[in-house]
Amino acid sequence: MTTTWKVSLPCTRAEADLLAEDQLFIAGSDSTPTIVASESDSKRPDEWMIDVYCQVEPDAALIGNLLKLSPSAEAAAFQPLVEMLDDEDWVTLSQQGLEPLRAGRFHVHTSSDQPSDDPRLTNLCIDAGQAFGTGHHETTMGCLHSLDRLKRTSHRFRNIADVGTGTGLLAFAAHHLWPDAKIIASDIDPIAVAITEENCELNAIVPGNGRGQIRILQSNGLDHPALEQRAPYDLIIANILAGPLVALAPQIAAAASAGTVLILAGLLARQKTEVVRAYLSQGFRLRQTRLENEWPCLTLVKARKYGHARTPMRKKSPLAPDYFGEI
């Protein structure tokens, strides 16, 4: 029997942003913990929860370090809730019980549910696991709808990057919309990379470097040599958090060329101005905002006068979206 311990405490959205940015390691334990930050209630978007899963009983040092991740809980003298969970993968179970959903032309379901028999819909099978991006959060829904809209407005893409892929869902959606494209999906979390590989098999998608395939790799942002070598991309998707989105703006701009379409999500409405400003300064222009409750999904386009950072300006590909056209 495997025993898992869970430590929980509330936090703010800003504290969750910092947690994701810093990739903080919690000392005081003989095992590396799994840290999960999640929204408690979509109607109260500033209220989040930190759950830490570990294989040994949390000691005072671990609990003390955990409190430092949530200054608001520490200031309120909140005592973390400690639970012992027996013989289960509770990180996975925390995401189970999800109902199939519809987003644009996509029907997203788990392997325990039946795919849709509606010929107008594209089925995507995404099992719950120790990575995020099942499609049920507003940020992922916004990205699915935005990708669907690009297809409906006759945009074509041949070189696509999904940064912070989670379960691989958005990369899979792009694959179905543009089946001849080369797609690369990356995540900083090795667990997310492994789950994306598993989900590839569930969706009969071939991992690889060729057209119609998806290259899956672990990377902090776009630092991986394979991501740099394949640039510039004509479509970049990044559904992460506001802090990392701002920090990655120069890297993403360097991986884009004139006409590159960029889909950004993971930010709250009150963070939109800061994120948009970071990308305007890198030569992007905001073309559309889709709002799901308090979660905007932004579609931007790289302006013509800004070329790819490592290559000279060249004539725009006839396959690239028109910057002056409607997104």
Of the CATH numbers 3.30.70, 1.20.140, 1.10.40, 2.60.40, which one belongs to the domain with range 3-93? 3.30.70
Ramachandran area for residue 308 (φ above 0: left; ψ -120 to 50: alpha; else beta): beta
Residues that constitute the known binding site: 140, 164, 187, 239
Q: Is the dihedral of CA 173, 198, 51, 99 positive or negative?
A: positive
The predicted model scores a pTM of 0.69
Measure the CA–CA gap between 100 and 106, rounded to whole angstroms.
Answer: 10
CA distance 130 to 95: 9
The Cα 108–Cα 202 span in angstroms is 12
| Sequential DSSP letters for 78-144 | PPPEEEEEESS-HHHHTT-SPPPEEETTEEEE-TTSPPP--TTSEEEE---BSB---S-SHHHHHHH
pLDDT of 134-186, one tens digit each?
444 578 889 999 999 999 999 999 999 999 998 899 999 999 999 999 999 99
Domain boundaries, the chain: 3-93, 101-302
Q: What pLDDT shows up at residue 307?
A: 43
255 with 228: CB under 8 angstroms? yes
Q: Are 160 and 233 in contact (CB under 8 A)?
A: yes
At 94, which amino acid appears? S
Each residue's pLDDT tens digit, 48-92: 888 887 777 888 888 888 888 888 988 888 889 998 876 555 445
Residue 30 and residue 71 in contact, taking contact as beta carbons nearer than 8 Å = no
d(CA 260, CA 237): 11
Which residues of the chain are modeled with pLDDT < 70? 1-3, 18-34, 42, 86-99, 128-137, 305-327
Q: How many residues does the chain have?
A: 327
Architecture of domain 101-302: 3-Layer(aba) Sandwich (3.40)
What's the chain's Rg over C-alpha atoms?
20
What residue numbers does the annotated binding site for S-adenosyl-L-methionine cover? 140, 164, 187, 239
CA distance 250 to 318: 26
